[in-house]
Structure 1
């Protein structure tokens, strides 16, 4: 085979892959958009995130200068609750196809299983990034209006929350990325186990049980290690804007830990998807 023929074959293969991916992307978007509970779950994630953030901002007081609170993290507290809904959304987006048998139709239309998984991840990430951005911006806006009434004023060392402030912008962007990574983690786990309740249980266990286990362990060194590998504890370090030296892991490094969890789940799911029957 000469170089020109090889180039034509490569170009044809690339074109075929792009065509398959385009069809898969359109199909996944249609399935997600027309599923009755998907829109409700996204709306619930936004509402819970903002509501919990508002409640926390109203509850915490800063009576004097140097009260030690992280105003940005307080405003974004709702992410710790909204992520549960995102995990449920991600699990339902894939395991529901297995329960109805629609996955066979999907894989018949697009035989490449990696293409199908990539399309699912792309669509899911896009909608979660959009809803996560809305939730985070609304939470910060609410915090900007609520927190000064509880003592978080410039006189106490707390300027109004603003995205022009570098740490605040990093916390906002990081929180949106955090939610997207939770969605990918949920997608990977659900694809691997193929059962909605089991997938939700595994993801929520990873998120919420890790901190509980950390508190039960008495050895400070082991506590530190567990905090550094906990998907939620490490991932949410990106929200911190004060006392960064006290964190078990740096803000972006912590988000990298969650990225590793999501990547491992997706890798395992892609391998199982190739080896198992639909």
Structure 2
């Protein structure tokens, strides 16, 4: 009596293959490159404008140098948030999600792979953009009180923190896309809940609200992108932890609904 060993299937689903599949999907979309280039162009363009128009006796002299030259982050971040939403909700709009979940019936590896690939691409892109913008703006700031270098204390950390803040905010958007499954609905929810709601709450005359607002996503991201502590802002460690929790909660909501609902 003989036994025949069954060779492992060459098409077995593995985490590495799911990651590679999501990477191929992300890089093959024209919208990926349009949004990444738009975000980089906004950050770089506004950084150059700020550098070219800055004067030492102007009203911006009290602003941190990294914050000043990376002011375009506020607009560039919206481009990355839209891309995060397209990564998840966009597949529901096109119907491609059915194919993805058929190939990976456990479902959750698809979401984790999307988040991992997007995080890597978004952070790398924004870190490179931040470094390029800072160095280019410094050529224009030469001779002013904002002239500084990458080796100055807090500068590299602020640029890296700025990239991390944008990435984590965009991960919140990605989780919203997985939760709501609608591109317009997710964009509206992101603008309303992440961008507008903190501004509305900030009008309330309560100290408890002011204390809590420091840990809301956009406020926490702002604290990460400054080379010097911002007045009334959370510490760098607390801001990073808060942003990670917000992003984790958004992804967790998307994961729960991904398991419970049909595609």
Normalized per residue, the structure richer in helix is: 1
**One of 77, 94, 109 as aligned partner of 1:115:** 109
Does the 8 A contact of 1:53 with 1:75 survive in 2?
yes
1:155 is aligned to none
Give the match for residue 247 of structure 2: 262
- Equivalent pair of 1:87/1:204 in contact (CA under 8 Å): no
Aligned partner of 2:148 in structure 1 is 160
Q: Compared with structure 1, are the counterparts of its residues 250 and 190 closer, same or farther at alpha carbon in structure 2 (3 Å cutoff)?
A: same
CA offsets per residue over residues 85-121 of structure 1, 9 Å max, x none? 0000010111111112111110111111111111111
1:205 is matched with which residue? 192
Inter-partner Cα distance in structure 2 for 1:204 and 1:123: 24
CA distance in 2, matches of 1:234, 1:175: 10
Whether contact under 8 Å (2:223, 2:230) holds in the other structure is no
Q: 1:189 aligns with which of 172, 176, 181?
A: 176
Corresponding residue for 1:236? 222
Q: How many residues align?
A: 254
What is residue 39 of structure 1 aligned with on the other side? 33
| 1:216 to 2:198 alignment | no
Residues 255 and 265 of structure 1: CA distance in aligned 2, closer, same or farther (over 3 Å): same
Q: Is the 8 A contact 1:214 1:226 kept in 2?
A: no
Partner of 2:257: 272
Deviation sequence 1:142-187 (CA, Å, 0-9, x none): 22112235x32xxxxx45231x223111101111111221221111
Which of 142, 148, 158 is 2:142 aligned to?
A: 148
The answer to whether the Cα contact below 8 Å between 1:143 and 1:161 also exists between their aligned partners in 2 is no
- 1:249 match: 234
How far, CA to CA, are the matches of 2:26 and 2:61 in structure 1? 45
TM-score normalised to structure 1 length: 0.83
Distance 2:183 2:177 in 1: 7
C-alpha RMSD of matched pairs (Å):
2.4
Residue among 49, 62, 70 paired with 2:43: 49
Q: TM-score, normalised by structure 2?
A: 0.88
Q: How does 1:131-142 map to 2 (within 5 A)?
A: 131-142=125-136
Task: Answer yes or no: is the 8 Å Cα contact 2:169–2:218 preserved in 1.
Answer: no
SS in 1 for 2:14: helix
The answer (yes or no) to whether the contact 2:160–2:225 under 8 Å persists in 1 is no
For residues 214 and 70 of structure 1, do their structure 2 counterparts lie closer, same or farther at Cα, with a shift above 3 Å needed? farther
* 1:215 CA displacement: 4.4
Equivalents in 2 of 1:56, 1:256: separation in Å? 30
Task: Give the one of 11, 15, 19 matched to 1:21.
Answer: 15
Against the structure 1 CA distance between its residues 264 and 240, is the aligned structure 2 distance closer, same or farther, given a 3 Å change threshold?
Answer: same
- Distance in 2 between the 1:115 and 1:234 partners? 29
Structure 1: segments with no counterpart, 5+ residues: 1-11, 153-157
Q: Deviations over 1:126-157 (max 9, x none)?
A: 111221122111111122112235x32xxxxx
For structure 2, list consecutive stretches of 5 or more residues without a partner in the other structure. 1-7
C-alpha deviations, 1:20-48, integer Å up to 9, x for none? Answer: 21221122112111112111111111111
